[in-house]
Amino acid sequence: MPKKYYIETYGCQMNVADSEVVASILSDAGYSPSVSIDDADIILVNTCSIRENAEQRVWGRLDLFRAQKKKRPQVIVGVLGCMAERLKEKLLESGKMVDIVAGPDAYRDLPMLVETAAAGNPAVNVLLSREETYADISPVRLGSNGVSAFISIMRGCNNMCAYCVVPYVRGAERSRDPESIIREAKEAFDMGFREVTLLGQNVNSYAWNGAVPEDEVTPAGLLKKISDQDSGHRFSNLVNGLTAPDRYPLTGKQEPVNFAGLLEMVASVHPELRVRYSTSHPKDLSDDVLEVMAGHNNICRHIHLPVQSGSSSVLKRMNRKYTREWYLGRVAAINRILPGCTLSTDIIAGFCGETEEEHQETLSLMREAGFDFAYMFKYSERPGTKASRKMKDDVPDEVKTRRLNEIIALQNEISAVSKKADTGQTFEVLVEGPAKKPAGAMTGRTSGNKVVVFRASEVQPGDYVNVTVTRSTSATLIGNLMT
């Protein structure tokens, strides 16, 4: 039987966290990791389907893996994740290039799938689950810097944005038991990690609904029970979205916890453990969350809040469930409750039917919001989404490219202003490791998620240091270590 595995990961932070779960499952089954495909018995690629370019990169890697199979026919190649879910038939028909196809909810079955593939049979499991959260699995931290760790707090998505394939490849939204999240955060801190990032497609809709006796299953009964038993906890005023049990199955006897409550629980693990989270949906970002952030210095002052478009009419076609005015209202709340908090976003150029006026609305919102940085893309139609089925991708590619270039140019200007404002300020920096250049320099991040490079000789990854910014490049702050 094959014994060594190699994993490549593409796409978002969620995929990185999933690969760490896969590594844990395989390790528990007796497999060991390999740092190279050349001596691996099992080659796994964890994939992304969000954009066409991401899938094309994976197809290119599969060509390389095919060459490995020609040299070593016993090698098993597996495709995991979103692309496996979306393209299972095409992958299995790819000239015996792929032996295993496993969707995001099938990772527990990987040892069995490996055995099936080793026996010469195609091994497939792409069933989506309404319960699977891998809550009981302690991830193996793959390729980590030893300072920052990812913790997945929920899986799936219910938002059904018109352009997005995630609900189709990752299934319905379900939240993970908060006790298991706290356990994992404590484990990470005890292992030496000094920062955790809580991950979900929409962390703001995290909702764990604990079980209660049958006579207390109504929202009012649940809230009364929590209030009666509240002994110094702040959870009673952080509970929201309480629902009857026919909507959420009730298991265990824990109090309901929403994202604000969970965030406070994780921040309380240790004051030296920084806490980040991603991604927030603007329609669900509550003042409760912002107030919890304001109350804990170790919750990082950075929010990633994807806007996608600055036009209410485009947002309606995208099914984003908020308006331009609502989004700017959330930005104003962030600035009011968390002054100095950095803000990043995602922007799509050229969505279906986008007019020049709607594009200009995006540019004006960017100026008003003042994003510190942004991820910017041309619209790429994804098969199976509402946009692909019911809308026409009618913005010419050359127009998309021009609009994207204008968005990028404007964001570069805004980012430069943001970095210039940091000059002369002193920030607490969590050291991540040696910088690529100059020689002898170290790099780390501020609470606001800005990269800082500074010269130092006696600091180690995981240390907190104070750095005064002296200048900046387009992507980095440069400063002097304060002693």
pTM, 2 dp: 0.88
Mean pLDDT computed over 245-273: 77
pLDDT of residue 248: 30
pLDDT of residue 69: 85
pLDDT of residue 235: 30
pLDDT of residue 2: 66
Q: How far apart are CA 131 and CA 118, in angstroms?
A: 29
Binned at pLDDT 50, 70 and 90, residue 1 comes out as low
- The fold for domain 423-481 equals OB fold (Dihydrolipoamide Acetyltransferase, E2P) (2.40.50)
Ordered by start, the domain boundaries in the chain are 4-125, 144-300, 301-421, 423-481
Superfamily of domain 4-125: Methylthiotransferase, N-terminal domain (3.40.50.12160)
Judge whether 119 and 162 are in contact, CB under 8 Å. no
* pLDDT > 70 in the chain, percent: 90
The token duo for 454 is: 């500074």
CATH class for the domain made up of 144-300: alpha beta
pLDDT of residue 95: 62
Q: How far apart are CA 114 and CA 111, in angstroms?
A: 5
Mean pLDDT computed over 350-379: 97
pLDDT digits (tens, 9 = 90+) for 172-229: 999 999 999 999 999 999 999 999 999 999 999 999 987 443 333 333 333 333 333 3
List the strands of the sheet with 274-278, edge to edge.
148-152, 195-199, 274-278
pLDDT digits (tens, 9 = 90+) for 57-113: 888 888 888 888 888 888 999 999 999 998 888 888 766 789 999 999 999 999 999
Among 22-36, 220-234, 362-376, 398-412, whose mean pLDDT is lowest? 220-234
pLDDT digits (tens, 9 = 90+) for 299-327: 999 999 999 999 999 999 999 999 999 99
Beta-strand pair 207-208/257-258:
antiparallel
pLDDT of residue 435: 94
Is 144-300's fold the same as 301-421's?
yes
Across the chain, mean pLDDT equals 89
> Hey, what amino acid is at 252?
G
**φ, ψ of residue 179 in degrees (nearest 5):** -60, -40
- pLDDT score of 252 more than 80: no
Q: How far apart are CA 128 and CA 125, in angstroms?
A: 9
Among 155-164, 234-243, 447-456, whose mean pLDDT is lowest? 234-243
Q: Which residues pair with 373 in a beta bridge?
A: 344
Identify whether 213 is preceded by a cis peptide bond (ω within 30 of 0). no
pLDDT digits (tens, 9 = 90+) for 439-461: 889 999 999 999 999 999 889 99
Question: CATH classification of 301-421, choosing from 3.30.930.10, 3.30.750.200, 3.10.20.740, 2.70.210.12?
Answer: 3.30.750.200
